[in-house]
Amino acid sequence: MRHASNPAGRTLAAAALLLACTPGRSDSARSEPAASQPSAPVAATAAPAADQPGDPRSSRSLGSASAPITIYEMSDFQCPFCRRHALETHPQLVREYVETGKVRVVFINLPISDIHPNAVPAAEFGLCAARAGRFWDAHRLLFRHQSAWGPLADPGPFLITLADSLGISREETVRCLEDPAITAAVRQEGEGSVRAGARSTPTFYIEGGLLVGAQPISVFRPILDSIYAERAGSGKR
């Protein structure tokens, strides 16, 4: 297994079996190194201005802005491995690290449209939910119902029905989905994620390194605990 260190010398260790969606490949597990060094900081090239009031993507930040660790999650709503992370590992990260003030999670769209034709419409719906302040509820519903909307020739009508569950008016949702700024935002995030070194989903940028694939909480814990201990020891909290 190859390990890759970030600029501060930390190593992001991951399992050799990479559970990730990759352009041009079917959605299947493959044996490859799962940790790598980013070519550029995500914060500069891929992350949205998640804390700016009024930004349609502002509610995609989960946790305290003062948390000592930020995880940028680059994800595709139609990717089955992103779904696995969202439904299995993400809740554990929230309980153990977000709710304890140690970690802040920021969601970044990286739709792989050549193998997931409905990933872009889902990402646009997610941004519209974010504009209405309901992103994380939409995040949960999109992944939970992935098998329903994913195979559809036109996922639009199904996605609109999710607005009812979110308490967002259908008319408001349709107007948002017709906004060119939403389409542009999804495209820009995907391009930025690729520039940052992401080649598959899910990919996580954690304080200078990339962690690739739907890893279990047991992979995240030593990475996050090490960074937190280092920063707590140096007073950077």
Domain extents for the chain?
Answer: 60-234
| Residue 16 burial class via C-beta count within 10 angstroms: exposed 0-12, middle 13-18, buried 19 and up | exposed
Asked if pLDDT for residue 10 goes beyond 50, the answer is no
pLDDT, tens digit (0-9, with 9 covering 90-100), for 89-136: 999 999 999 999 999 999 999 999 999 999 999 999 999 999 999 999
Q: What pLDDT shows up at residue 26? A: 66
Q: Pick the more confident residue, 84 or 8.
A: 84
Q: What pLDDT shows up at residue 17? A: 56
How would residue 21 be classed by pLDDT, with cut points 50, 70 and 90?
A: confident
Q: What pLDDT shows up at residue 227? A: 95
Decide: 13 and 35 in contact? Cβ < 8 Å: yes
Decide: 33 and 182 in contact? Cβ < 8 Å: no
Asked if pLDDT for residue 56 goes beyond 50, the answer is no
60-234: CATH, from 3.40.30.10, 3.40.50.2300, 3.40.50.150, 3.40.50.1360: 3.40.30.10
Closest CA relative to residue 60, chosen from 149, 186, 146? 186
Q: Pick the more confident residue, 163 or 41.
A: 163
How many Cα atoms occupy the beta-carbon half-sphere of 103 within 13 Å? Answer: 27
Closest CA relative to residue 215, chosen from 15, 33, 27? 15
Q: What pLDDT shows up at residue 236? A: 57
Q: Structure tokens of 48?
A: 């949205």
Q: What pLDDT shows up at residue 233? A: 76
